[in-house]
Amino acid sequence: MDDDDTALSILRQRPAASGRQVVESVLTSGAEPARSLYIHVPFCFHKCHYCDFYSFVDTQDRQGVFVDRLLDELRAVAPLAGGQPLRTVFVGGGTPTLLVDELWRRLLDGLSGLFDLSMITSGRGEFTVECNPETARPELFDILVAGGVNRISIGAQTFNTEHLRTLERHHDPDSVGRSVELANAAGIPHRSVDLIYAIPGQTESDVAADLDTALSLPIDHVSAYNLTYEPLTAMTFRMERGDFTPADEDTELEMFWLVRERCLARGFEAYEVSNFARPGGECRHNLAYWRQEQWIAAGPSASAHVGGHRYKIIPRLTDYLDFSDDGFAPMVDHESPDASRALAEIIMTGIRLSEGIDIDRCFAHAEALGAHETLRSEIDAARSNGWLMDDTERLVLNERGLPLADHIASCLMSALG
């Protein structure tokens, strides 16, 4: 199915604006340079039923024109980095490793010419590429390493063939280990495996087996998220049709604690509610998101956060390829700088981190909004409920609060009106 068929009708009706004005506004505002970059590659060889990221099986062989268009966009937005070295680059999708070798060389050469990658090439920064295990090849990994890639994130989801079929994932579970070993042999120092739990029909023993397999590999990072039923995905339609029964809350909670206990026992620290790493293996790019730093974005459906502005590149490849304002792409869902939203975002993502949130930073934002006292009341209520550690400088969830992170964030954000 072509992406034209799967695009939301509202996006067909909304006129797409160019990102030129926003970028120019940021550049004249005196905002700090953005030090992170996200690139979205939409191509997949199969659309997984649980996935709500913009991706599709392209029958028109548009990889080449996509990379050309992507480089034009990167050229247009590169000034947002202010000539400063990027700290992190993340290429996600879709399946970025579906790009053919020649296109990867072109993209990596273009990046090095448009951005200062000196922090990354010196090993002080991070360059991640998401990888489907079936697309891992020694030749590709050699190209990535030559281009500065030093981290690979491999989508395993589960090592159980039955549960892979439920998720409509079409890879051999053994290919995950082979991918990790190939990345290791190529000299990619940081290797991550993504897992999903609370899959319909999955037991705690199944989750334990997935963790044991993943943690036996030479990796320094594990992401483990419970299966969520996103609107308009095939998985959600199947659930609503009664094809299966989702895991109940108690089972999901037991699996949450099982994941945490197994990872901690193997030396992986829980630096975020669903992310575990050996010391030094944390995903620095995701930390930039969760700490509400600034990042540039390129590629259809990629989201940017620069100078207080948030926007999304139009999630439709045809429009992305056909529209160009000196390289700038059409954007949707633009939000101008807003102090209340900024504080809500600090709370929403920061509360999930093991480092928590700087209380003084929160109160400084809240005072400017006239919400200082209501925020203090919500924090006091969270403490009374036994959800927070006894820390006077930071808001940090304790073990009772961890599985309630999103609910607690919602309570705190309610103070903002």
What does the radius of gyration of the chain's CA atoms come to, in whole angstroms? 21
End-to-end CA gap in the chain: 43
In one letter, which amino acid is 105?
Answer: R
Task: Round to whole Å and give the CA distance between 194 and 130.
Answer: 10
**Residues 330-347: pLDDT tens digits?**
898 899 999 999 999 999
Q: 3-state secondary structure string, 52-103?
A: CCCCECCCCCCHHHHHHHHHHHHHHHHHHHCCCECCEEEEEECCHHHCCHHH
Concatenated DSSP letters of 222-234 = EEEEE----TT-H
- Sign of the alpha-carbon dihedral angle for 352, 355, 359, 363: negative
SS3 285: helix
User: Whose CA is closest to 225, among 273, 171, 153?
Assistant: 273
Please state which of the ranges 73-77, 162-166, 229-233 shows the lowest mean pLDDT: 229-233
Q: What is the model's pTM? A: 0.91
> Residue 2 has what pLDDT?
41
User: Whose CA is closest to 362, among 348, 347, 349?
Assistant: 347
Report how far apart, in Å, the C-alpha atoms of 221 and of each of 47, 351, 406 are: 25, 20, 23
Please, which pLDDT band fits residue 59 given cuts at 50, 70 and 90? low
- Supply the mean pLDDT for the chain: 90
With 0-12 CB in 10 A as exposed, 13-18 as middle and 19+ as buried, what is 13? exposed
Helices H, strands E: what count in the chain? 18, 15
Task: Round to whole Å and give the CA distance between 202 and 28.
Answer: 53
Query: Residue 331's beta-bridge partner residues?
Result: 17, 313
Are 188 and 151 in contact by the 8 Å Cβ rule? The answer is yes
> Residue 45 has what pLDDT?
63
Are 196 and 48 in contact by the 8 Å Cβ rule? The answer is no
> Residue 17 has what pLDDT?
61
Task: Round to whole Å and give the CA distance between 271 and 399.
Answer: 13
**Residues 195-234: pLDDT tens digits?**
999 999 999 999 999 999 999 999 999 999 998 877 767 7
Please state which of the ranges 41-55, 133-147, 180-194 shows the lowest mean pLDDT: 41-55
Q: Quick one: tokens of 66?
A: 């996509």
Mean pLDDT (whole number) for 102-108: 97
Residue 335: its H or E element: strand 330-335
Please state which of the ranges 40-49, 105-114, 308-317, 391-400 shows the lowest mean pLDDT: 40-49
> Residue 44 has what pLDDT?
74
Task: Round to whole Å and give the CA distance between 212 and 190.
Answer: 19
Please state which of the ranges 43-52, 235-244, 315-324 shows the lowest mean pLDDT: 43-52
> Residue 310 has what pLDDT?
93
Task: Round to whole Å and give the CA distance between 306 and 31.
Answer: 8
Q: Is the pLDDT of residue 104 over 70?
A: yes
Q: Is the pLDDT of residue 105 over 90?
A: yes
> Residue 51 has what pLDDT?
47
**Residues 3-43: pLDDT tens digits?**
443 333 333 334 446 788 888 999 999 899 999 999 999 98
Q: Is the pLDDT of residue 53 over 70?
A: no
DSSP 206: H
> Residue 93 has what pLDDT?
87
Query: Residue 196's beta-bridge partner residues?
Result: 225
Q: Is the pLDDT of residue 49 over 50?
A: no
Mean pLDDT (whole number) for 306-320: 92
> Residue 68 has what pLDDT?
96
Peptide bond into 280 cis (omega under 30): no
With 0-12 CB in 10 A as exposed, 13-18 as middle and 19+ as buried, what is 248? exposed
CA quadruple 321, 323, 329, 334: dihedral, nearest 10: -120
- The contacts of residue 407 (CB under 8 Å, 6+ apart) are none
Please, which pLDDT band fits residue 240 given cuts at 50, 70 and 90? confident
Mean pLDDT (whole number) for 307-327: 89
Please, which pLDDT band fits residue 158 given cuts at 50, 70 and 90? very high
**Residues 355-406: pLDDT tens digits?**
999 999 999 999 999 999 999 999 999 999 999 999 889 999 999 999 999 9
Task: Round to whole Å and give the CA distance between 52 and 158.
Answer: 18
Task: Round to whole Å and give the CA distance between 246 and 325.
Answer: 46
> Residue 242 has what pLDDT?
85
Report how far apart, in Å, the C-alpha atoms of 232 and of each of 7, 153, 236, 242 are: 11, 26, 7, 16
> Residue 52 has what pLDDT?
43
Q: Is the pLDDT of residue 162 over 60?
A: yes
